[in-house]
Amino acid sequence: MKNKLLIIGASGHGKVIADIALKMNKWTNIAFLDDDVSIKSSMGIEVIGKSDKAITNIQEYDIFVGIGNNSIREKIQKKLEAEGASIPFLIHPSAIIGEKVELESGTVVMAGVVINCCTKIGKGCIINTGASIDHDNVIEDFVHISPGSHLAGTVKVDHGSWLGIGSIVSNNVNITSGCEIGAGAVVINDITEPGTYVGVPVRRI
């Protein structure tokens, strides 16, 4: 871990990443990169260049991808990994993290989140504000669990899926990769085909 942090993306999601990083109080210097050259600063934090500048700063900075889109975040993080970047995970101080919870690089756990024991969360995930993930869950790489979502015990969410705000997943349910679960949706059975699912209980649309 380095004492400087570079965040790729200075818009909405990136701002929340910066806020969490500031509250963690682990970095003496935080800066943004963003491809919108009209953005000179965000939250009072300087934008020091475009995203392609990340590679030239690998030796000096930890680097975090503050982009909400799962596929774009994955593409950028994998490129950084291939170049040997130091990619931390971030945890808001108000989050509650159980025993034997595993978090991988590039994942952020936001304010008010509860993750109970023996859960594994992969690379580049977003566990958003006020979400809860109960015991023995497996959240694979580059998943987004939106604000206020609640996952019961022994849930598995496969690579790159997105659970909308306020969604609920019953216990012992598997959700395959490439799924989008709508806001307020309730998942009570396994989802085995990629697609968009909405409703209570969910149906594919």
Active-site positions?
A: 135
Main-chain phi, psi angles of 61, to 5 degrees: -120, 145
Tell how strand 162-163 and strand 186-187 pair up.
Answer: unpaired
For residues 70 and 143, is the Cβ–Cβ distance under 8 A?
A: yes
Looking at residue 1, its pLDDT comes to: 80
SS3 176: coil
Q: At the topology level of CATH, where does 4-88 sit?
A: Rossmann fold (3.40.50)
Query: What does the pLDDT look like over 153-204, one tens digit per residue?
Result: 999 999 999 999 999 999 999 999 999 999 999 999 999 999 999 999 999 9
User: Which pLDDT tens digit goes with each residue over 27-50?
Assistant: 999 999 999 999 999 999 999 999
Round to whole Å and give the CA distance between 85 and 114.
29
Q: What is the DSSP letter of 111?
A: T
State which amino acid sits at residue 18: A
Check if 4-88 and 91-193 are the same fold.
no
Give percent above pLDDT 90 in the chain.
Answer: 100
pTM recorded for the entire structure: 0.96
Structural domain boundaries in the chain: 4-88, 91-193
For residue 150, give both structure tokens. Answer: 């609640």
The CATH fold of domain 91-193: UDP N-Acetylglucosamine Acyltransferase; domain 1 (2.160.10)
Percent of the chain with pLDDT over 70: 100
